[in-house]
Amino acid sequence: LEDDAEFPPGLLGAGAGGPEDQTQYVQVSQEERDAIERLVGLGFERQLVVQAYFACDKNEEMAANYLIGR
């Protein structure tokens, strides 16, 4: 990921590859990217981390608690 990197919707849990899927992107700041990388470093899959991070309003601690409690 780069500064202001963009995530395709599959990383955010949108669509499962159906024919009506359209590509959308979400830009993240360096701080958000770092938080996502730290969560991935805990051993969770990137797609799940991104979903949890955004579902928890970009709260890294809350996302970590959610991921650990799964």
pLDDT tens-place values along the chain, 70 residues long: 444 455 544 555 444 555 566 666 889 999 999 999 999 999 999 999 999 999 999 999 999 999 999 8
pTM of the full structure = 0.67
Whole-number pLDDT of residue 50: 94
Whole-number pLDDT of residue 3: 46
In a domain, 62, yes or no: yes
Range of the domain at 54: 6-14+23-69
In a domain, 31, yes or no: yes
In a domain, 1, yes or no: no
Whole-number pLDDT of residue 2: 45
Give the CATH number of the domain where residue 50 resides: 1.10.8.10
Question: Which strand (E) or helix (H) includes residue 7?
Answer: strand 6-7
> Residue 24 phi/psi, 5° resolution?
-130, 155
Whole-number pLDDT of residue 25: 80
In a domain, 28, yes or no: yes
Per the structure, the count of domains in the chain is: 1
In a domain, 48, yes or no: yes
